[in-house]
Amino acid sequence: MIKSLTYSFKEGIKQLFRSKVMTLVSLISISAMLLILGLFFFLSVNVNYMSDKIQDEFNTIEVFLKEDVSETEARNLADDLMKLQEIRKIDYISKDQAMEEFREEWGDNGYLLDGLTENPLPNALRITLEDLSGGDIVAELCKTTEGVEDVRYYQTEVNKILSISSAIQKGALVIIVFLIIVSVVVVSNTVKLTVMAREEEIKIMKYVGATNWFVRGPLLTEGVLIGGISALIAFGLSYLIYDRLCDSLSSQTVMLLNMQLVEPGFLMSSLIWIFMSLGISIGAFGSLVSMRRFLKV
Amino acid sequence: MIKFEHVSKTYDGKAALDDVSVEINDGEFVFIVGPSGAGKSTFIKLITKEIEPDSGSIFIDDKDITKFSQRMIPGLRRNIGMVFQDFRLLPNKTVFENVAFAMEVVHYTRRTIERQVPQALALMGIPDKADQFPDSLAGGEQQRVAIARAIINNPKFLIADEPTGNLDPSTALEIMKLIDQINRRGTTVVMVTHAKDIVDRMDKRVITIQDGKVISDLKGGYGR
């Protein structure tokens, strides 16, 4: 058993070097496939990450209160609203606090606000939702509540962004599945060429009494090795590309929507496993499938 | 012992073997002769279980191989050495590797392989060709390598399918001497051939197959 395993392994490696062109073609095609797959994986993960962030940032409803509502009344109102399940927490934001925040947001241009003699901002309640799905109900309820001047809730905008991001994710998933199928076909075809080139050898092996596993062993090893090495190559390239991408995005001073990519470290540890398991199973599957016909001697 | 009992095999409605019953005893040397397409190759392929008969039984050493499962085929073939007209050597392996190959299949140790392969090559009269590739050898030498591969595991049977078909007469004769020598060591030899002169000269049992039937089974020359 151990002897036949070492035989398979030795022969498999020997074969890799013997049919250099074939090995190279398979390596390149699987690596390329995995690399593209990896890029879509990055896209999908980051879109997911961003849509989570958007949800976090926009899961608040601003309820502006009328001038005559006192802080105590406002806090009572807040306590009433807290009975709703959809609400995680409610903060009371006085007009002075609101002005402070405003000034901070404006940053260097904050001096423009110094010209104001009177604070035009209303007192407000800031409602943080459990999740976005409950937003509509709460917003509607607040609008009809006494003492409420106006309600601001970016529901339509947020929904639009969320539906786009889910479309992107679905698209990425479809492409990933498609790529996996394509790479299995590519690998099984390349291995089929290798096997066809060795049809005679396999036939002779069978004539001298080789078992099917004795014939399969080296080819399987070859497929697994090609898959594994391709996975490493694709991983290296993806890592480089992603690292560059993160660097160039974070060095950009003007940023849209506070865009930030998921940390490479976290992503890469899962990517190496994904690539390894995909590469190895693609290699093994490809060689087993393409061999089947030739074993019937 | 190889025994065919009422064996029939048809290809696309055409009978390749038709109710053939033959018995070959241990240690015998048997020629199978007959015109092309008479069913000689079918006969050999049935022995190695490359194909299955439509009806009848085939016994190798009292075991009905038509009842063997696919998994038992390797064991069967390890007991049968095969030699072909076109040698069937692997061009990308050296002579040594080509012969060693048959031993690797049966999981012999490296040490045994390195001891026995040179012996077999010496027996075949080509001890100095171990590191050469088949393409650099003459036809007769290639067939010697193929025979070395066929007998390296000491099979009980040697099946030769037109082993001299691609060789000139004098080389063919040398190959026949080797095969005869192997037979004298106790190996049962079944040889398919067209070469009338060889059959006449060897003076062995001759089974003539024509249109899928055994039309004669005699000791002596070709088609007498």
Contact residues on chain B for A209, CB-CB shorter than 8 A:
73-79, 105-106
A159-184 pLDDT per residue, tens: 787 788 888 888 888 988 888 787 77
Q: Of the ranges A63-67, A74-78, A291-295, B43-47, which one carries the lowest mean pLDDT score? A: A291-295
Residue A257 has pLDDT above 60, yes or no: no
B140-162 pLDDT per residue, tens: 999 999 999 999 999 999 999 99
CATH of A59-153, one of 3.30.390.10, 3.30.70.3040, 3.30.450.20, 3.30.465.10: 3.30.70.3040
Band of the pLDDT at B77, cuts 50, 70, 90? very high
Band of the pLDDT at A297, cuts 50, 70, 90? low
CATH 3.30.70.3040 domain position(s) in chain A: 59-153
Contact residues on chain A for B77, CB-CB shorter than 8 A:
206-209
Q: Do A210 and B74 touch (CB under 8 A)?
A: yes
Q: Which of B71, B107, B149 sits opposite A3 (nearest CB)?
A: B107
Greatest Cα-to-Cα distance within chain A, rounded to the nearest angstrom: 101
Kindly state the average pLDDT of the residues A194-203. 78
Residue B129 has pLDDT above 90, yes or no: yes
User: What is the per-residue pLDDT for A254?
Assistant: 47
- Please give the mean pLDDT across all residues of chain A: 80
CB distance from A6 to chain B under 8 Å?
no
Query: What pTM does this model have?
Result: 0.66
**CA-nearest residue of chain A to B80?**
A208
CB distance from A14 to chain B under 8 Å?
no
Q: Do A206 and B92 touch (CB under 8 A)?
A: no
User: What is the per-residue pLDDT for B223?
Assistant: 57
Contacts of B171 (CB under 8 A, 6+ apart): B138, B139, B140, B143, B164
CATH 3.40.50.300 domain position(s) in chain B: 1-79+156-224
B118-127 pLDDT per residue, tens: 999 999 999 9
Residue B192 has pLDDT above 90, yes or no: yes
User: What is the per-residue pLDDT for A183?
Assistant: 74
Q: Of the ranges A127-136, A253-262, B67-76, which one carries the lowest mean pLDDT score? A: A253-262
Q: Which of B71, B92, B105 sits opposite A208 (nearest CB)?
A: B105
Q: Do A209 and B74 touch (CB under 8 A)?
A: yes
| Range picked from A130-139, A140-149, A264-273, B20-29 for highest mean pLDDT | B20-29
**B79 versus B107: which is more confidently predicted?**
B79
CB distance from B72 to chain A under 8 Å?
no
Interface of A with B in 172-231 (CB under 8 A): 200-201, 203-211, 214
Contact A231, A34 (CB under 8 A): yes
Band of the pLDDT at B207, cuts 50, 70, 90? very high
Q: Which of A204, A209, A214 sits opposite B75 (nearest CB)?
A: A209
Provide the ipTM: 0.81
CATH of B1-79+156-224, one of 3.40.50.300, 2.130.10.10, 3.40.50.1580, 3.20.20.70: 3.40.50.300
- Min Cα distance B105 → chain A (Å) is 5
Q: Do A208 and B77 touch (CB under 8 A)?
A: yes
Q: Do A206 and B82 touch (CB under 8 A)?
A: no
- Min Cα distance A200 → chain B (Å) is 8
What does the CA dihedral B106, B109, B113, B116 come to, rounded to 10 degrees?
-90
Report the b/e string of B96-129 with b at 16+ CB within 10 A. bbbbbbbbbbeebeeeebeebbeebbebbebeeb
Q: Of the ranges A36-45, A281-290, B10-19, B69-78, which one carries the lowest mean pLDDT score? A: A281-290
**B28 versus A157: which is more confidently predicted?**
B28
Contacts of B13 (CB under 8 A, 6+ apart): none
Contact residues on chain B for A203, CB-CB shorter than 8 A:
88
At residue B86, φ and ψ (nearest 5 deg) are: -95, 20
Kindly state the average pLDDT of the residues B117-136. 95
Contact residues on chain A for B88, CB-CB shorter than 8 A:
200, 203-204, 207
A3-60 pLDDT per residue, tens: 677 878 887 787 777 777 777 888 888 898 889 888 888 888 888 888 887 777 777 8
Helix axes A264-291, A212-250, angle to 10 degrees: 150
Q: Do B74 and A4 touch (CB under 8 A)?
A: no
